[in-house]
């Protein structure tokens, strides 16, 4: 999860503080943890390295307590402008309508960060209460980091949340928003109750562990992380001498590239999303930087808005890899409909960001706020900034894209079954 931007610092703090420098000569604990693991079991797959560094329950980058602060390692769209989350809120309501306005609407967010996106979505829900009518709405957050879950609870519920009973091993925190909307926290998507749901994952899939594979003369080999024999407290990449289970199962037979990255974990989560959407209805919106199965080596680290060597001082920097949308589409299978990826610029324009900006600017006379509005709009949509780097990809119930049925049988029956509403964001807005 990372995107390097150099913005003038805005008032609220951005995500994550880099760790304080270690005050002694011992290698930092994450490095010690990894080197003893490697000494015990041999070189580890990049996926295991990434999982340990990011989400180790004690020392992981996302889990650590001291990582939140005014100076962060990266900045994300929902933190740049509230318009981003508001338009996603409109998208969610539009998909709920497209599904025939079911009585229950679960909003499920994977990796909610500071909770800003969810809070902007919920504000739209309350503004469009008349549209949502009597639907009972609930918010479900999938978050591994205890530190971030507390921050989310603070932002979304104030002090109206508490740790769940120890017997309840699925939900670890519960609360409600000021408007009384129930909020629950889970460690894994599997723990979220079934039911009609709209899933949102912003900069979540890029943080999931990837396996790396290298084409060699002897065939595909997995890239592993090992201790450098010449420098004991330094890690290095090595190529596995023989095939591994991952290298034989995760590389496509007709793969053309010489180096590939595969997030098996991302694949499993997409399969779970697809199954839920097919069985219970709903949609998923996956937003991230990525490619369509064309890129090779995208694994990188970010610290203090700068690129950072992925193997240096592990745990002090964010690790990320571009999302392979082709792979996600393949893992989603044929049962769900997939739309996109389309660029962030296209999606936001289709969702009416320009109109929303005009309204905000019309109602705002303070020059510095106006300047800020314009610069954040530019950051989100400019192709040279986030506009073309980020992509929107959606999984939908197949009925959402079904072609209208031709009238069959009796000629008297003139009515066609209506075409489904177009999916907002992925098609151009037209005002009739």
Residue (111 or 352) nearer to ligand SAH, CB? 111
- According to DSSP, the β-strands at 211-216 and 259-262 are antiparallel
Distances (CA, A) of 235 to 13, 35, 310, 318: 33, 8, 10, 17
Which tokens is 47 given?
Answer: 């996926």
Nearer residue to ligand SAH within complex by CB, 99 or 156 = 156
Shortest distance, CB of residue 141 to ligand SAH, whole angstroms? 9
B/e letters for 79-101, b = 16+ CB within 10 Å, e = fewer, are: bbbbbbbbbbbbbbbbbbebbee
For ligand SAH, the closer of residues 95 and 203 by Cβ is: 203
Q: How far is the CB of 357 from ligand SAH (least distance, A)?
A: 21
Q: Which residues of 325-357 are buried (b: 16+ CB within 10 A; e: fewer)?
A: bebbbebbeeebbbbbbbbbbbbbbbbbbeebb
Instruction: Indicate the residue among 220 and 289 with the shorter CB distance to ligand SAH.
Output: 289
Query: Which CB, 125 or 185, lies closer to ligand SAH?
Result: 185
Which of 190, 228 has the CB closer to ligand SAH? 190
Residue nearest to ligand SAH (CB): 111
CB-nearer residue toward ligand SAH: 191 or 297: 191
CA terminus-to-terminus distance, the chain: 39
Left (φ > 0), alpha (ψ -120 to 50) or beta: where does 117 sit? alpha
User: Closer to ligand SAH at the Cβ: 76 or 346?
Assistant: 76
For ligand SAH, which is the closer residue by CB, 31 or 148? 148
Provide, rounded to whole angstroms, the least separation between the CB of residue 394 and ligand SAH: 17
- Where does this chain bind ligand SAH (CB under 6 A)? 1, 54-55, 62, 76, 78-79, 111-113, 142-145, 148, 202-204, 207
User: Quick one: 93 or 141, whose CB is closer to ligand SAH?
Assistant: 141
For ligand SAH, the closer CB: 145 or 350: 145
Instruction: State how far the Cα of 337 lies from the Cα of 319, in Å rounded to an integer.
Output: 31
Least distance to ligand SAH, CB of residue 152, Å = 8
Q: Calculate the alpha carbon distances from 361 to 117, 356, 377, 383, 429 in Å.
A: 21, 9, 11, 22, 21
């Amino acid at each position: 999860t990372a995107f390097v931007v150099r913005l003038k610092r805005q008032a609220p703090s951005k995500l994550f503080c880099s760790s304080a420098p270690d005050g002694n000569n011992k290698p930092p604990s994450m490095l010690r943890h990894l080197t003893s693991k490697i000494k015990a079991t041999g070189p580890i797959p990049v996926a295991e390295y990434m999982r340990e560094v990011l989400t180790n329950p004690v020392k992981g980058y996302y889990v650590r307590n001291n990582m939140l602060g005014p100076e962060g390692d990266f900045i994300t769209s929902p933190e740049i402008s509230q318009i981003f989350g508001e338009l996603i809120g409109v998208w969610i309501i539009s998909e709920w309508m497209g599904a025939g306005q079911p009585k229950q609407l679960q909003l499920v967010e994977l990796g909610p960060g500071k909770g800003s996106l969810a809070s902007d979505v919920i504000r739209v829900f309350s503004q469009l209460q008349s549209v949502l009518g009597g639907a009972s709405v609930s918010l479900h957050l999938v978050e591994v980091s205890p530190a971030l879950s507390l921050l989310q609870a603070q932002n979304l519920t104030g002090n109206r949340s508490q740790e769940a009973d120890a017997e309840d091993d699925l939900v670890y925190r519960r609360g409600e928003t000021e408007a009384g909307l129930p909020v629950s926290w889970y460690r894994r998507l599997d723990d979220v109750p079934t039911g009609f749901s709209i899933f949102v994952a912003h900069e979540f899939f890029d943080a999931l562990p990837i396996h790396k594979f290298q084409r060699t003369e002897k065939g595909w080999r997995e890239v592993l992380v090992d201790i450098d024999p010449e420098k004991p407290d330094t890690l290095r990449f090595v190529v596995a001498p023989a095939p591994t289970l991952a290298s034989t199962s995760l590389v496509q037979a007709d793969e053309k590239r010489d180096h590939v990255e595969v997030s098996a974990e991302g694949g499993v989560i997409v399969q779970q999303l697809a199954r839920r959407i097919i069985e219970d209805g709903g949609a998923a919106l996956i937003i991230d930087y990525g490619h369509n199965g064309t890129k090779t080596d995208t694994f990188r680290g970010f610290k203090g808005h700068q690129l950072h060597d992925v193997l240096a001082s592990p745990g002090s920097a964010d690790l990320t890899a571009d999302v392979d949308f082709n792979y996600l589409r393949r893992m989603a299978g044929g049962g769900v409909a997939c739309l996109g990826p389309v660029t962030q610029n296209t999606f936001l324009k289709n969702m009416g960001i320009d109109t929303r900006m005009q309204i905000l600017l019309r109602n705002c006379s303070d020059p510095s706020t106006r300047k800020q509005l314009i610069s954040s709009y530019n950051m989100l949509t400019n192709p040279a900034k986030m506009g073309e780097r980020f992509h929107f990809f959606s999984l939908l119930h197949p009925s959402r894209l079904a072609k209208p049925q031709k009238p069959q049988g009796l000629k008297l029956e003139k009515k066609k079954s209506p075409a489904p509403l177009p999916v907002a964001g992925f098609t151009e807005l037209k005002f009739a």
